[in-house]
Amino acid sequence: MKRCGWLIGLLWGEQAFAAAQPANDMGSGTLMQMLLLAAFALIFYFVIIRPQSKRAKEHQQLVTALQKGDEVITTGGILGKITRVTDNFFMMIIAEGVEVPVQKNAIAASVPKGTLKSI
């Protein structure tokens, strides 16, 4: 029971099972809760936050490196060739005589030159 009470106290707070534990174990339960919280924070950082910021940085480098004449694919799946670059938009030719503005953050990837001709 003492072992089970410690586990439940660790997961749901020690006050619910404080009566079942001796008084000298109260400090270790609080320490374990703090260590568990710190471990979850580290796992959260390395599994979610760090990879996302790395992807965002790579995407920002991709967008800043694009220039007139590059062939790109948008997040919507539209393949086109960049004809003009402004601060927030690219002008893109997607078909003969069809030019559309595309936001810079809507570019998913850069494709090798000649991809449009091969399709």
Q: Which of these, 97, 106, 73, lies nearest to 81 by C-alpha position?
A: 73
Q: Rounded mean pLDDT of 6-16?
A: 55
Residue 70 has pLDDT above 80, yes or no: yes
Q: How far, in Å, CA of 81 to CA of 73, rounded? A: 9
pTM, full prediction: 0.64
Residue 55 has pLDDT above 80, yes or no: yes
Would you place residue 83 in the very low, low, confident or very high pLDDT band (cuts 50, 70, 90)? very high
